[in-house]
Amino acid sequence: MSRHAVLEQRLGHRFGDGRLLEQALTHRSHGPENNERLEFLGDGVLGCAVADLLFERFPHEAEGKLTRWRAELVRAESLAELGRRLGLDELIRASPATPLTQSIVADAMEAVFGALFVDAGYAAVRAATALALEPALAGLDPSGPAKDSKTRLQEVLQARRQRLPEYRVSSVRGAAHQQTFEVECVIADAGLSTTGRGSSRQRAEQEAATAMLKKVDA
């Protein structure tokens, strides 16, 4: 079994050219045959696939909400969490002196989708995106508020000319593909803090922000 077999299984795609996947998982610190060009390609095709899936799944939602959801799903933080859930972070090749940052994991995730596009075309990218992002897509709530809790909290604090909150990961529990995050939301100037938990850092932050909104609006 190749070292990429589990990742391929989770993406629902067996690469015809395994060298593409290896390159997608290679950071520039490792050598000249790295993932930067595939990352560029993956950024475009992934954004298209996510827009396609949202358009199909939510036929009655307005453009503004679809745009916001797409931005949330493809932002670096979300892609890094997806990469960790898929076990991609354990496969990235980088120099020993290079710390495996959120940005590196997110870039590699984009590069994997770019490699998938080169290997098998858009249909394969769309299918893999649907499979990998199903938990996140299922969590989108059309009946929810027009703006997410983090955005609303930020706007409230900006209107009051207060410093923006900080989000700190308190703990991460569970296996890489089934983690539970605990995040603390802190407004230092006001001496306030709340905690949120979720299956991703993003969801935990939203939970913490929701709790904080109740405090600042009290």
The structural domains of the chain, ordered by start, are 5-138 (1.10.1520.10), 149-216 (3.30.160.20)
What local confidence, expressed as pLDDT, does residue 145 receive? 61
* pLDDT, tens digit, 9 for 90 and up, residues 132-161: 999 889 888 887 665 788 888 988 888 888
Please check the confidence at residue 75 and state whether its pLDDT lies above 90: no
* pLDDT, tens digit, 9 for 90 and up, residues 10-28: 999 999 999 999 999 999 9
| DSSP per-residue string spanning 96-144 | TTS---HHHHHHHHHHHHHHHHHHH-HHHHHHHHHHHTHHHHHT--TTS
Top-confidence residue, 81 or 121: 121
In angstroms, the CA 81 to CA 55 distance is 23
What local confidence, expressed as pLDDT, does residue 202 receive? 84
Question: Exposed, middle or buried, 158 (CB in 10 Å: 0-12/13-18/19+)?
Answer: exposed
* pLDDT, tens digit, 9 for 90 and up, residues 177-200: 678 899 999 998 889 999 999 888
Q: Average pLDDT for residues 40-69, to the nearest whole number?
A: 93
Collapsed DSSP state (helix, strand, coil) of residue 58: coil
Q: Which residues are annotated as catalytic?
A: 43, 110
Spatial CB neighbours of 119, under 8 Å, sequence gap ≥ 6: 13, 15, 16, 17, 20, 21
What local confidence, expressed as pLDDT, does residue 149 receive? 86
The answer to whether 196 touches 183, Cβ cutoff 8 Å, is yes
Q: What pTM was estimated for this model as a whole?
A: 0.71
